[in-house]
């Protein structure tokens, strides 16, 4: 779907925001302009009423006294030599002139709704107008008339009407045609609508361009990610601005893809190493068995062949056992919460390896203090055995291996130190990797498969501990295991 696109969603939000904001502002402007226009009309009506109420009083004698100021500032009507009939004729002419200016005048009696005077021809519309005026005056009541003049302003059929009720039983209405005003206001409304549409279109176009510019790095990230997924594992996402949100995302993705690539390379290397480690004893087994079957041999030769095959099979078993233990650790095999003591486990390990130490002319020294922990005694025992065996086998004859245990700051500490050949500083960071050998020249028969220290590290970490190594060439190596004390 098109609206699943982030760019289209941004455009939709931008359109809604612009259209809503523009609509609110333009409607407010229209209402304000309409109110101003009608205020001008109302002011004009009031001025006409104030100016011409004297003339209206002349043509409708029963209307009552003229409004103060009808003849200029509230001054009394000046005495003239004009007769009442002349004044009436003059007043009618004044009101007809007023009608020419667009203002109609209507005088109506309240009692019988009879039109006393009008500048407009009497039609059905006039009757409807009288009814509307009476409806506006109805809340005031008919009897008695108001003590002070009352004005009511309202709109009817495109006419603005000022309804004036002076004391007495008649009222007068001044009417201005607002058709032209309404036409102007409708034109203004269409112009404002066109302005809103133009503003929205321009805003959406700008928003579309900005959204495209902002999301362009996402397209590059997607292309780079697709390339990595297709097999280009060394590819990196281009990072232009690491301070922006997308820049930080690219940095995180690069780090994630880098870790995934490193893990893939480790798995590939692990598979290759495991295959190679297993291929060597298999080759010995196949070659020796084929040689034994190819021709008759003496019992001693058959025995030697079977011993070689047995040694190769044992080596295969040791590798498979180590791989199985690592695999079980990788899936999070739970640790048995047994009470045990590192000192007891180290003492047992030293006793078991005494013969191996003598065969390699190594000296084992035990300095053991109580170090109680909770964990799998068998796995922790193998940790100690592996560390001591490595110290014996990977050093020259005469090496001294010191095994010590103690507690410090709530931690149980195991230390296995030797004064042998040491390990190069370049090899220390990788010493716990699977199938890694610090000395590549060491034979696989004597050097093992390179899984011992990986098993040690995994077992220690599963127990919530840490293992550290320090070494100096020609001075020896020290492994320190720290576990939570029980």
pLDDT band at 286 (very low <50, low <70, confident <90, very high): confident
Shared domain for 341 and 425, answered yes or no, is yes
The reply to whether 348 falls in a domain is yes
Shared domain for 318 and 383, answered yes or no, is no
Residue 419 has pLDDT above 80, yes or no: yes
The reply to whether 374 falls in a domain is yes
The reply to whether 448 falls in a domain is yes
Helical ranges in 69-142 per DSSP H = 84-100, 124-137
- Out of 327, 346, 379, a domain closes at 327
Q: What is the pLDDT of residue 350?
A: 92
The reply to whether 428 falls in a domain is yes
Cis peptide upstream of residue 484 (ω within 30 degrees of 0)? no
Residue 22 has pLDDT above 50, yes or no: yes
- Out of 287, 308, 327, a domain closes at 327
| Domain range enclosing 273 | 245-327
420-447 confidence digits (pLDDT tens) = 989 888 888 888 887 666 655 444 445 4
Helices and strands (DSSP H and E) totals, the chain: 11, 12
For residues 305-326, average pLDDT: 76
Shared domain for 275 and 316, answered yes or no, is yes
Structure tokens at 389: 């065996």
Residue 281 has pLDDT above 70, yes or no: yes
* Angle (deg, nearest 10), helices 179-229 and 245-294: 20
Q: How far is CA 357 from CA 127, 169, 323, 360, in A?
A: 130, 135, 26, 5
Phi, psi (deg, nearest 5) at residue 392: -80, -50
Shared domain for 299 and 421, answered yes or no, is no
Q: What is the pLDDT of residue 334?
A: 66
Shared domain for 354 and 416, answered yes or no, is yes
**Torsion of the alpha carbons at 110, 113, 119 and 121, rounded to the nearest 10:** 170
Residue 76 has pLDDT above 60, yes or no: no
Shared domain for 377 and 301, answered yes or no, is no
331-343 confidence digits (pLDDT tens) = 666 667 788 999 9
Q: What is the pLDDT of residue 254?
A: 80
Q: What is the pLDDT of residue 237?
A: 72
Shared domain for 359 and 464, answered yes or no, is yes
Residue that the structure tokens 């990230």 belong to? 221
Q: What is the pLDDT of residue 70?
A: 40
Distance CA 203, CA 409 (A): 66
Cis peptide upstream of residue 299 (ω within 30 degrees of 0)? no
Q: What is the pLDDT of residue 64?
A: 54
Average pLDDT, the chain: 80
The reply to whether 208 falls in a domain is no
* CATH label of the domain that carries residue 458: 3.30.565.10
Shared domain for 347 and 453, answered yes or no, is yes
Q: pLDDT: is 123 or 68 the higher one? A: 123
pLDDT band at 62 (very low <50, low <70, confident <90, very high): low
Least confident of 5-9, 51-55, 67-71, 447-451: 67-71
Domain total in the chain: 2
pLDDT band at 130 (very low <50, low <70, confident <90, very high): confident
Shared domain for 402 and 468, answered yes or no, is yes
140-193 confidence digits (pLDDT tens) = 655 545 556 788 899 988 889 998 888 777 888 899 989 999 999 999 999 999
Distance CA 222, CA 240 (A): 15
Q: How many residues does the chain have?
A: 486
- Out of 307, 327, 347, a domain closes at 327
Residue 66 has pLDDT above 80, yes or no: no
What residues pair up with 156 in beta bridges, in sequence order? 159
Shared domain for 264 and 347, answered yes or no, is no
Residue 480 has pLDDT above 90, yes or no: yes
Shared domain for 305 and 359, answered yes or no, is no
Shared domain for 479 and 340, answered yes or no, is yes
The reply to whether 177 falls in a domain is no
Q: How far is CA 136 from CA 41, 61, 129, 152, 426, in A?
A: 19, 23, 11, 8, 103
Q: pLDDT: is 19 or 61 the higher one? A: 19
Residue that the structure tokens 């004297």 belong to? 54
* CATH label of the domain that carries residue 260: 1.10.287.130
Structure tokens at 87: 């004044």
Q: What is the pLDDT of residue 67?
A: 45
For residues 346-368, average pLDDT: 92
The reply to whether 27 falls in a domain is no
Q: How many CB atoms lie within 10 A of CB 401?
A: 25
Q: How many CB atoms lie within 10 A of CB 378?
A: 12
Kindly state the DSSP code that residue 64 receives in the 8-state scheme: -
Residue 73 has pLDDT above 50, yes or no: no
Within 13 Å, how many C-alpha atoms sit on residue 462's CB side?
Answer: 25
Residue 120 has pLDDT above 60, yes or no: yes
The reply to whether 408 falls in a domain is yes
pTM: 0.48
Q: What is the pLDDT of residue 445?
A: 46
Distance CA 339, CA 376 (A): 8
């Amino acid at each position: 779907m098109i609206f699943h696109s982030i760019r289209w969603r941004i455009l939709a939000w931008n359109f809604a925001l612009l259209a809503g904001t523009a609509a609110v502002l333009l409607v407010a402007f229209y209402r304000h302009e309409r109110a101003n226009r009608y205020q001008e009309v109302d002011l004009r009506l009031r001025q006409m009423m104030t100016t011409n109420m004297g003339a209206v009083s002349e043509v409708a004698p029963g209307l009552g006294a003229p409004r103060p100021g009808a003849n200029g500032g509230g001054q009394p009507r000046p005495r003239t030599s004009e007769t009442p009939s002349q004044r009436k004729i003059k007043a009618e002419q004044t009101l007809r002139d007023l009608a020419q200016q667009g203002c109609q005048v209507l005088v109506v009696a309240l009692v019988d709704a009879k039109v006393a005077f009008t500048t407009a021809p009497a039609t059905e519309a006039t009757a409807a107008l009288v009814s509307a005026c009476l409806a506006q005056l109805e809340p005031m009541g008919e009897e008695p008339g108001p003590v002070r003049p009352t004005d009511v302003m309202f709109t009817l059929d495109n006419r603005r009407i000022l309804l004036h009720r002076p004391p007495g039983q008649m009222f007068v209405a001044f009417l201005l045609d607002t058709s032209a005003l309404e036409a102007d206001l409708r034109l203004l409304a269409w112009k404002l609508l066109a302005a809103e549409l133009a503003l929205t279109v321009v805003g959406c176009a700008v928003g579309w361009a900005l959204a495209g510019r902002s999301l362009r790095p996402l397209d590059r990230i997607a292309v780079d990610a697709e390339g990595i997924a297709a097999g280009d594992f060394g590819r990196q996402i281009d990072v232009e601005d690491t301070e922006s949100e997308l820049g930080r995302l690219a940095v995180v993705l690069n780090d994630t893809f880098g870790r995934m690539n490193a893990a893939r390379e480790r798995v590939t290397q692990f598979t290759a190493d495991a295959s190679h480690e297993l291929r060597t004893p298999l080759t010995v087994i196949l070659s020796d068995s084929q040689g034994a079957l190819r021709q008759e041999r003496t019992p001693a030769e058959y025995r030697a062949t079977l011993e070689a095959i047995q040694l190769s099979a044992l080596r295969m078993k040791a590798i498979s056992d180590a791989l199985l233990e690592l695999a079980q650790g990788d899936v999070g095999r739970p640790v048995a919460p047994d009470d045990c003591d590192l000192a007891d486990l180290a003492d047992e390990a030293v006793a078991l390896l005494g013969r191996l130490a003598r065969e390699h002319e190594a000296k084992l020294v035990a300095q053991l203090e109580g170090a109680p922990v909770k964990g799998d005694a068998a796995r922790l025992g193998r940790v100690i055995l592996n560390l001591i065996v490595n110290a014996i086998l990977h050093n020259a004859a005469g090496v001294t291996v010191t095994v010590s245990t103690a507690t410090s700051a709530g931690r149980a500490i195991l230390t296995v130190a030797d004064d042998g050949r040491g390990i190069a500083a370049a090899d220390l960071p990788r010493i716990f990797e699977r199938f890694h050998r610090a000395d590549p020249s060491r034979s696989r028969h004597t050097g093992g498969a390179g899984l011992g220290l990986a098993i040690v590290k995994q077992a220690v970490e599963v127990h919530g501990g840490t293992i550290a190594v320090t070494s100096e060439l020609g001075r020896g190596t020290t492994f320190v295991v720290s576990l939570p004390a029980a």
